[in-house]
Amino acid sequence: MFTTSGRTGDPDTVRRLNAPRRLRVETGGNGTPRRIYHRGRWLIVTQERERYRTDDRWWTDHPVSREYFELLLEDGRPITVYLDRIDGSWYAQRYG
């Protein structure tokens, strides 16, 4: 059984969960990430597991055009990053 606090959400305090985080990426000749700047240091990409693109919402004020990379970094950490093909910046896609 649930109880509620009785409070309604305040729009000023609402924030997106898992919003993509901008990050610095160094790419190779074919546009694939080679190194990623993470928590104050550059980490080498050891494996590109998946690469895919998304083009959507082009009829809205917020079109989406992204190139995603699922990568494995030298410290064994998997990471998903994408290049926003509209603003030209790199972002880390966070899950959960």
From 11-19, 39-47, 49-57, 71-79, span contacting other proteins (CB under 8 A):
49-57
- Per CB under 8 A, 35 contacts other proteins: no
- Does 10 bind other proteins (CB under 8 A)? Our answer is no
Using CB under 8 A as the binding rule, whether residue 4 contacts other proteins is answered as no
**What is the SS3 assignment for 54?**
strand
Query: Cα dist. 89→1, 48, 69, 70, 80 in Å?
Result: 46, 19, 14, 17, 14
* Complex with other proteins: residue 49 or 77, whichever CB lies closer: 49
